[in-house]
A and B are shown apart, each in its own frame.
Chain A
Amino acid sequence: MTDSLTSALFSTVATAAAFLQPYEFSPTVLGVCLLAAGLYFRGLRRLNRKAGWDTLLFALGLVSIYLVLQTQIDYYSRFSFFMHRTQHLVLHHLGPFLIAASAPASVLLAGLPKYMIRIMSTLRARYPVITRPIRMIQAPFVSGFLFVAIIYFWLIPGIHFDAMLSLPLYNAMNWGMAIDGLMFWWMIFRQPPAGMLETRHYGVRLLVLFLVMFPQILLGAYIALSPTDLYPIYALCGRVLPINLLQEQALGGLVTWIPAAMMSVLGALVLLVRWSQSSKMVTTPPIVPEPAAQHTMHPMADPYTTT
């Protein structure tokens, strides 16, 4: 009895371990994830802060990105359109959403070695030009455009075909998705810089969230309802899921359509809650412990300020 139980347990552990094995090990993905986690925990320690809800969000976001890239999920994503769309939903929407919503900037900065912060600030002071590209792609409408454009780009049938055959292109696609997702949700959840009119900021970001929904719905619906096989690569490279090819394409289209658009709604909810909280803070007189030490930052001190 105990023998069969232990053997069952052993086989479960073995299956789980096999599932967690990367299909193609990438030292870069592992390195970047470990670095981010390391910086975050160093930052927490330095700030003398306990892990809270924001830590959980950050960890969930980071782990989800790692899991879709470095487990057998990646194997299925290479050979199944539905799994590919799910992988990109996590890479572009869910993971970066969680990371950006946890507002990790202050913790990550605190985790950086002091000399790196010094180098960064001297560079920024000496060559203010380098902040310009960041400001440009972090402009709400530019960022929203890029967010949608990158989804469309990799789903152009010819380009999708090549990306699924060429390893460098495939890696570029996944990295591009993760980086663009981080930039977009960072823009959405960034705390308005001090001195900036908050109402306008929240309004513009809500508008961008609303606008990026429609092209995603359009594309997802087009794929889901297409009667023809748009991505023949999946029929050629060997099937891994026991579903009909067109059904699988329809499922992939649905993933591009519904959960992707729902992330806009979720993002809007988070923004609305923050907005109402910040307006409450404005109406009630703030309790400032040391009024002498406080001074508001000049708006231009923030490199992301867009106007």
Chain B
Amino acid sequence: MQDLERDRRGKWLFLTLALSWLVIFTSGCSKQSVHWNATDISGIMAPLTFNLTDEHDRAVTGMDYRGHIVLLYFGYTFCPDVCPQTLTRLATALNSLGKQAEDVQVLFVSVDPNRDTPAVLNKYVRYFSPRIIGLTGTQSQLKAVTKRYRVAYSYGKGYPDKNSYYEVNHSASVYVFDPKGNARLLIDQQESSDQIAADLKQLILESSPRT
């Protein structure tokens, strides 16, 4: 009888513990003092680190771009719709920032190094904005960086024949890192260029409060 009583008390103790844990957890998650249009991924995604090649055929790492707000996007230059549309949205947002755009660096990582040589990439990104840098790398480098940022890419029919057109499946999200290299936001296909610009302004203000 006494044992039964003890067991019942134990169950209540367990339940209260579980509930309080849940309350603490959810309150920690919903702590949002500022409003972002994009999805807040602070503390969830890995910081900015990679080993790739830039459009001038130089080996670069994530450290080279710290100090800027970095927008990281994966795609390929033969992309028929999603990439040009996303890059246009980003370029429009950057234009509306004016001089502040110098604090922002967009990195377009091509996951199709077979066709996207540094020269091709250079020509492609210039078309959108001077604030965009084209990057690519070897398959193992690309696998490492996509694994790190939890995205996938794969090739459609025709790969690796450079003369035939083949599709490349890739992610559609843009990751935003603050100047310290911490992942902060995830921009998806829903955000307009105005909303992206508003988020970037907020991030610039937060990271370098100029008076």
Contacts and interface: CB of A to CB of B under 8 A. Distances in A.
A79 B74 CA distance: 15
A236 B172 contact: yes
A246 to B, nearest CB: 16
B44 A78 contact: no
Interface of B: 4, 7, 10-11, 14, 29, 39, 41, 44-46, 74, 146-147, 150-154, 169-173, 186, 188-189
Interface string A212-237: 00000000000000000000100111
Contact of B170 (A136, A142, A158, A238): A238
B46 A167 contact: yes
A164 B147 contact: no
Given A78-B152, A167-B150, A240-B154, A235 B172 contact: yes
A79 B146 CA distance: 12
Nearest to B45: A165
Contact of A79 (B29, B152, B172, B186): B152
A307 B4 CA distance: 7
A66 to B, nearest CB: 20
Interface in A118-172: 132-133, 135-137, 139, 142, 158, 161-162, 164-167, 169
Contacts of A158: 29
Contacts, number: 64
Interface residues of A, number: 29
A167 B44 CA distance: 8
A98 B126 CA distance: 58
A89 B141 CA distance: 33
Quick one: which of A133, A137, A238 has the most chain B CB within 10 A?
Answer: A238
A198 interface: no
Contacts of A240: 152, 154, 169
Contacts of B153: 238
A302 interface: no
A278 to B, nearest CB: 26
Contacts of A135: 7
A137 B13 CA distance: 12
A258 B152 CA distance: 29
Nearest to B188: A236
A158 B44 CA distance: 12
A236 B186 contact: yes
Contacts of B7: 135-136, 306-307
Nearest to B146: A238
A158 B30 CA distance: 11
B69 to A, nearest CB: 19
Contact of B150 (A136, A142, A164, A232): A164
B132 to A, nearest CB: 20
Given A237-B173, A238-B151, A307-B4, 5 more contacts: A79-B152, A236-B172, A236-B188, A238-B152, A238-B153
A167 B147 CA distance: 10
Interface string A230-252: 00100111111000000000000
Given A78-B152, A307-B4, A238 B171 contact: yes
A132 B188 CA distance: 47
Contacts of B172: 235-236, 238
B14 A136 contact: yes
